[in-house]
Amino acid sequence: MKTTSLLTLTFLFLSAKVSAQDAALLAAERARGIMTGSNGVQWTVTVKSSDGRSAAFRAISQSGKIWAEVRSPDEARGRKYIAESKGAMWFWKPGLSRPVSVSKRQRLSGDAAIGDIASTSYVDGYKLESTSQGEIDGEPATIYILKANSFTDTYREIRYWVTKKGNLGKKAEFYAKSGTLIRSSTMEYGNQVNGKPFLSKMTVKDADKTVELTFTEVKIGSYPAALFDKKNLGK
């Protein structure tokens, strides 16, 4: 279950903070959960993997940080995580005297490897290289080409499809330094926030696995900074 937990939390960083590179790109990121200023988003995340495993979390994302608590399965209930878009992650479960740091290698091991796409920040590690015109699900779209800033970034290139109408990010592809497509994700926007479409489902695929995340009970609000302090994780 711990691996599934790490997988889910890193997936949430597909909503990592982005820079003002392009107005439509920013609008697309907001629809995926990017909140600016003092606003954050809380939701329930249900995870189902093609290998039969499942989990549910309550998660809160704000200012480039995520707090998450496991709701199911029962044997993992009460486990908590804090993670930052730049890579730091902490884990706590009942019985531990203090939170434990989760290394990048641990986050990338086993099933968690596919979740690495979520810990990739579009602003910290990538820059907008170019755009082209295309379509997604029959809709006209802008395809954003994002290039890595350094050789240490996980992916050499990210391609991101944003619809012309509504500025919704519908698809992303992640490429290795060799130019090989490693994995992809698709997004759906069945939720509503302030009368606008908001992320409701994300499906991530690689060569041999599919992971589906469903986002429900969306609440926009301002959450205390202390919630994201690892010193308070077990309290």
Q: 104 lies in a domain?
A: yes
> What's phi and psi for 172, nearest 5 deg?
-140, 140
What would the mean pLDDT of 141-167 be, rounded to a whole number? 84
Structure tokens at 51: 């290998």
Q: pLDDT tens across 160-198, in order?
A: 999 999 999 999 998 888 899 988 889 999 999 989 999
CA distance 27 to 74: 37
The region of weakest confidence among 48-62, 71-85, 104-118 is 104-118
What pLDDT sits at residue 112? 38
What pLDDT sits at residue 30? 80
Residue 8's pLDDT band (boundaries 50, 70, 90)?
Answer: low
Residue 37's pLDDT band (boundaries 50, 70, 90)?
Answer: low
Structure tokens at 115: 């979740």
Q: 230 lies in a domain?
A: no
What would the mean pLDDT of 31-40 be, rounded to a whole number? 75
Q: pLDDT tens across 202-231, in order?
A: 898 887 888 888 999 999 999 999 998 999
Angle at Cα 225 formed by Cα 223 and Cα 228, nearest 5°? 95
Q: 228 lies in a domain?
A: no
DSSP 57-124: EEEEEETTEEEEEEEESGGGTT-EEEEETTS-EEEE-TT-SS-EE--HHHHHSGGGGGGGGGG--TTT
Structural domain boundaries enclosing 76: 2-223
Q: 233 lies in a domain?
A: no
What would the mean pLDDT of 1-25 be, rounded to a whole number? 54
Q: Does residue 135 carry a pLDDT above 80? A: yes
H or E segment and range at residue 7: helix 2-11
Q: 130 lies in a domain?
A: yes
Q: Exposed (0-12), middle (13-18) or buried (19+): which is 27, by Cβ within 10 Å?
A: middle
Which segments within the chain are labelled E, that is strand? 40-49, 54-62, 65-72, 80-84, 89-92, 100-101, 126-136, 139-148, 157-163, 169-175, 181-188, 191-193, 196-198, 201-205, 210-221
Counted domains in the chain: 1
Q: Does residue 86 carry a pLDDT above 80? A: no
What pLDDT sits at residue 104? 56
What pLDDT sits at residue 111? 39
Q: 231 lies in a domain?
A: no
Q: 30 lies in a domain?
A: yes
Q: 86 lies in a domain?
A: yes
Which residue from 189, 108, 116 is spatially nearest to 158, judged by alpha carbons? 116
CATH number of domain containing 46: 2.50.20.10
DSSP 12: G
What pLDDT sits at residue 221? 92
> What's phi and psi for 52, nearest 5 deg?
100, -5
